[in-house]
Structure 1
């Protein structure tokens, strides 16, 4: 097992370390700032034991956040005997060990299991929690397992043992720091074998009978692939995670793993193993995402303990076996990015389903229709596509969405399905989909709502100002691909929990303004709203939203007016076709401006004060601008970073880069204001 050395990591200055520790303890806005400050002396001693390492300080902050802000509790942490444990390798960190020992037993198991996941591969929170449930780490009432598992996941985040991906929404994706991962591998070394990339062929590092969890990631060429037969000695496995290509020969099967509860295979071949799936009598979790799978066994009902089936990205898979409707324990079914456009009848018997992704609406033949969703009252997450196929609102009524009191995430898509096209829809089509959507009113508990491919001219009745207050728990509203709709949801002040509004590819919306949040009711709406407008080709104005804190604009080329945002904290612009920065930047003053553009515009920005763009952004406190290196497929390689006070201007683009964006070797510019003014007068050429 490769350890991650600490010697290359910069140590924090004591006051910076205290600020980091303190912010971790009070980050939930618990108004305990002054109480924490009275314990600074103990905090500084804990920081000293962390050797000023940022990760260790963050982990200790996460641990202290779980404790009472009492001197006695902090002193207990300071004097904990684990600080002097001598068994661990020097490369590992005692702060992580201390945080780990503070976890209750089930959470320790969840933490170690998370470290099995290959670094750099995306595992959504849903999948992670399902794995924990399948292994028996989450204890509680069967109805509440996903809720409890999500709480475990949140605790690992709070303790900084896993960290949310900054580009993912709602903490759905997390990463684990290399040092934390190495610690977890060390703790689990007697029963888990983790071999990634070049190590994957070394599958004989432990006594095979002791290994109950095996995680392999292969990056081998076709001629040097790991062979399936090399795994046959690991007959005690409960978890098997494989990412990448593996060589499967005739006669290979899954029968060698009778104890398996979790099977996760990503990419590569699986069809040859499919027929032996039913031999895994104890399997709870099956994920074969992105494999070449074209069929599942017709006798899949023999796998009566199956709880989780993830088929995402299996684009060769065209149908589900009819017996799938007999899997009474099934809680999760993911059909995204498959070629499955119909579901066998009898689906309404799967009353344990909690999460259903990409349910295809099929209204003819011996297939499941929209009404079969009616009895599935345990659903927490539901994606429906192909709603254009529903020819009568009566089917929508029978789906009984409003009665699903556990449903927090809902996606309604008009388009999608076999032979789908984007042809213009006639007037009668508009009226039909309006009537169907009017009967698909979500329950009041809905938190995350997405409407996609909606081709009516008006919004559903339950999104009008007269009815929208019934969605009082809504936090995220996303509307994507609205070719005809000229309306936008109004009176959003009636949604006190709303945090994010995204309108993407709304081809007919020209302005966004106070109708979203009427001034007369603004005091009822909490701060912190984020709005994102993307690919709206005729959008001209966004104005008069006095409590808006974050605005994201992506490819809205006709936008000319941006005004009336006194509370705006962050503006994000993303448009790789921009040739110059928009003039409206001079009319607003956000605290932060983030820009993603092409290299030629970034090169102009990098000229600083002598750039024609300077007056558009120089009044903003902090600016971060980025461009990709398309030649080498590196995202955000080039940057300009500017701070108004205290002055700082940094870029890794040489001033001699030409207007076409062909860059000379990077030149890093770091300077004081005096140095910058001198530099710009000599070298930055307009």
Structure 2
């Protein structure tokens, strides 16, 4: 049997590069490096068996990471008989097989199940863990199933069998490499039917006794999968359907008495929803972005073993049935992006809930839905919405968040006032929401807090310096749409574990004062012991603080020693504070965009990547000795670019109105220069040594320059190499002749070589 295509050409690594990659995967701490270096000879032999392929080397690194740093353990891997097994197709890499065989039985099942996910679709780790629990792959104490499932997910990442998506934090979304997916699907070929075309799968479903079924349709009628074709698969335990499918009169779920997992996404499912009660053994149910569903059946409580219910994105859903409170086994409920704005009384009976998202704050007379949260003591993740509806602080207090000793993630959302063109809340309303948030005091175990739509002037008291000692475990803090907030809290700098701070759309903040990096008590009563603020902070993202002008941080205040990424977008910041350049010595990546008044970025000793975009007053970039990658997009006033000796790649986007290359190009020598400019500039460059722009770029080894035409960003191009000399362009000869009638150009096919 052939492996699943496609296969792509991959450049093989040289032995030393391959060893560096393997070593990077194996090292857990710097202390183990000497022990690993002693094993290099065995490592190079393992690399040779991997044929220098990066993926195979990473997978082997993930396997060796689980082993002791001893010769006998590495030699056991090197001489494993699996390297010569003949049962696998030649196209599949044996390193993956070796890693797979090293997995525990439970982890093997989870790994194989992951390959059911359609390639282009994102499933969260919570969805996978819910499926694994529902399928019975996770064994352990009932109270710790989610914890164990998360550990399985992390181990698959550590072994490089799945890869985190860099666009998402906390490894929430992962994908599987094509080669790894081919391996997993080969192993499950007799029990799982996986495909991307409804028409093809319809014919394959005539084969009996599949246990798992996964399909992603593209939406066209000819591509739709027919539900009726699935009816004979009575042994199915798992169904995943992404995209619409054909339902005929009389179709139901009655045939699937063994089904444990049902995941339907972006499809019309209402016609089948009424027969959900027939799935007696269902543990996992997700109906995501199924917009034809406006209600769930009243008899949903008959699915008495249901543990996971995901309804995210069902925007027509307005109400939950009262019988949902009888789902005593329910551990997960997601109502995000639905129109459910009330909850049935008695919800507090669902004491097995671990994760609850999109729970609406709803008031009915003297009763508030937040009171139903009090008895839910096992909650790990909790998302609340509509908190502007709470008028009495005692209702928030009855939610008893501070007493939830397992709670690690908390979302506190109000209805967004910035996008809905609503009036600015009154002072009274601002005062009430401040009091409500003050009472939503998180427990000390909280790791992730997300606030959205908050319209108080001051952030909650538990973020201030007098109270933040309670937040000793907080790692991630994100705040969006702080419409009335006038300052950032002064206690965040004391948080010992804070890794990420993100603030998005806080239009009333004009100043970030010294209290942000040094709380008032430390400023007014300095001790002999110097403390470092934000000791674990890795990333700051500040977006749309549109009135923000000043950031005060003096050089003597030590803060952010391991900050490695900074993003500032849409503000009026006048200058970068001296303290940032002096103390953020680990800062590697900086992105700045639409900062109206900033005129210089300079004196950063550690930055490797700098991206500047739409900076109308930017004039100077200097003294950044480790800078390797620089992007300057639409910053027309930049005049000085100097003291960047390590620069390798320069990307420059010019406005169409800019008629020539900037002079600062003469002062730098990157190996690669990528330019987007007007056709006039490109034409002048295409003249080569005869043109006025030649002396600005001719010293650079590789130049790619493009000019757009209509919607085609790269309609016109120039490609230049200094050594060996070559300059190619498709700028039309007639344009050059019309602009420079004394120049001779020789056409060559669709491009021209100019002399």
TM-score normalised by structure 1 residue count:
0.88
Match of 1:573 in 2: 591
Of 709, 713, 717, the residue aligned with 1:663 is 713
Q: Is 2:600 the counterpart of 1:584? A: yes
Instruction: Please report how far the alpha carbon of residue 498 of structure 1 lies from its aligned counterpart in structure 2 after TM superposition.
Output: 0.6
The SS at the match of 1:193 is: strand
* 1:264 is the counterpart of 2:260: no
Equivalent position to 2:540, from 531, 536, 545: 531
| C-alpha contact 1:344 1:367 (8 A) present in aligned 2 | no
Taking the aligned partners of 1:672 and 1:65, their CA distance within structure 2 comes to: 45
Alignment of 1:480-491 (within 5 A): 480-491=480-491
| 1:619 Cα deviation from its structure 2 partner | 2.5
Q: Look up the match of 1:286.
A: 285
Verify the 8 A CA contact 2:383 2:412 in the aligned structure 1. yes
Secondary structure of 1:384 counterpart = strand
SS of the residue corresponding to residue 298 of structure 2 reads coil
Q: Is the 8 A contact 2:273 2:297 kept in 1?
A: yes
Question: Does structure 2 retain, via aligned residues, the 8 Å contact 1:585–1:616?
Answer: no
Which consecutive unaligned segments of at least 5 residues does structure 1 have?
Answer: 629-641, 680-686
Greater Cα offset, 10-19 or 527-536:
527-536
CA contact (8 A) 1:508 1:538 kept: yes
Q: Is the 8 A contact 1:320 1:344 kept in 2?
A: yes
Task: Give the Cα separation in 2 of the matches to 1:55 and 1:598.
Answer: 38
**C-alpha distance in structure 2 between counterparts of 1:21 and 1:614, whole Å:** 44
Q: How many angstroms apart in 2 are the aligned matches of 1:251 and 1:600?
A: 64
Q: Deviations over 1:287-314 (max 9, x none)?
A: 0101121221101111100001110111
Q: Which residue of 2 aligns with 1:387?
A: 387
Tell me by how many angstroms 1:548 deviates: 5.6
1:21 aligns with 2:15: no
Matches within 5 A, 1:197-346: 198=197, 201-205=200-204, 208-291=207-290, 292-346=292-346
Structure-2 separation of matches of 1:656 and 1:646: 20
Shift in CA distance, 500/194, structure 1 to aligned 2, threshold 3 Å: same
Instruction: Indicate how the Cα distance of structure 1 residues 405 and 421 shifts in structure 2: closer, same or farther if over 3 A, else same.
Output: farther
- Distance of 1:591 and 1:674 partners within structure 2: 32
Counterpart-to-counterpart distance in 1, 2:10 and 2:615: 31
| Contact 2:651 2:674 (C-alpha < 8 Å) held by counterparts | no
Alpha-carbon distance in 1 for matches of 2:173, 2:238: 21
Of 636, 651, 674, 2:674 maps to: 651
Q: Does residue 436 of structure 1 match 2:461?
A: no
Pair 1:11 & 2:12 matched: yes
* Pair 1:553-2:534 in alignment: no
* Structure 1 residues 285 and 626: CA distance shift in structure 2, 3 A: farther
**CA, structure 1 residues 646+311, in 2 after alignment: closer, same or farther (shift >3 Å)?**
same
Map residues 459-608 of structure 1 onto 2, 5 A cutoff: 459-512=459-512, 514-518=514-518, 522-523=531-532, 525-542=534-551, 544=553, 545=559, 547=561, 549-564=563-578, 565=580, 566=582, 567-573=585-591, 575=593, 582-595=598-611, 597=613
User: TM-score with structure 2 length normalisation?
Assistant: 0.81
Q: Tell me which structure has the larger Cα radius of gyration.
A: 2
Residues 49/151 of structure 1: CA separation in 2 closer, same or farther (3 Å cut): same
Question: In the alignment, is the contact (CA less than 8 A) between 1:310 and 1:333 conserved in 2?
Answer: yes
Q: Is the 8 A contact 2:535 2:562 kept in 1?
A: no
The one-character-per-residue Cα deviations of 1:11-52 (angstroms, maximum 9, x if unpaired) are 0111100000000001x3252111111100000000000000
CA distance 1:437–1:674, shift in 2 (3 Å): farther
Q: CA RMSD in A?
A: 3.3
1:617 CA drift (Å): 8.0
- Contact 1:342-1:367 at 8 Å conserved across structures: no
Contact kept? 2:451, 2:480, Cα under 8 Å: yes
Equivalent-residue separation in structure 2 for 1:141 and 1:464 (angstroms): 38
Aligned-pair CA distance for 1:428: 0.9
SS state at 1:202 partner: helix
1:365-376 equivalences in 2 (<5 Å): 369-376=369-376
1:682 corresponds to: none
**Which fold has the larger relative contact order, with Cα–Cα distance below 8 Å and residues 6 or more apart in sequence?**
1
**Map 1:110-129 → 2, pairs under 5 A:** 110-129=110-129
- Supply the distance in 2 between the matched residues of 1:236 and 1:655 (Cα, whole angstroms): 59
Distance 1:265 1:112 in 2: 20
Report the alpha carbon displacement of residue 424 of structure 1 after superposing the two structures with TM. 1.1
Q: Deviations over 1:380-437 (max 9, x none)?
A: 10111111111111111111000000000001112269x9863211111111112111
CA distance in 2, matches of 1:623, 1:474: 38
SS of structure 1 residue aligned to 2:611: strand
Structure-2 separation of matches of 1:69 and 1:666: 55
In structure 2, the partner of 1:84 is: 84
**2:699 alignment partner in structure 1:** none
Distance change (3 Å), C-alpha of 1:527 and 1:446: closer
Q: Which runs of 5+ in 2 are unaligned?
A: 554-558, 618-629, 654-664, 677-703, 730-755
Q: CA deviation at 1:581?
A: 10
Per the alignment, residue 401 of structure 1 pairs with 401
Give the match's secondary structure for 2:545.
Answer: coil
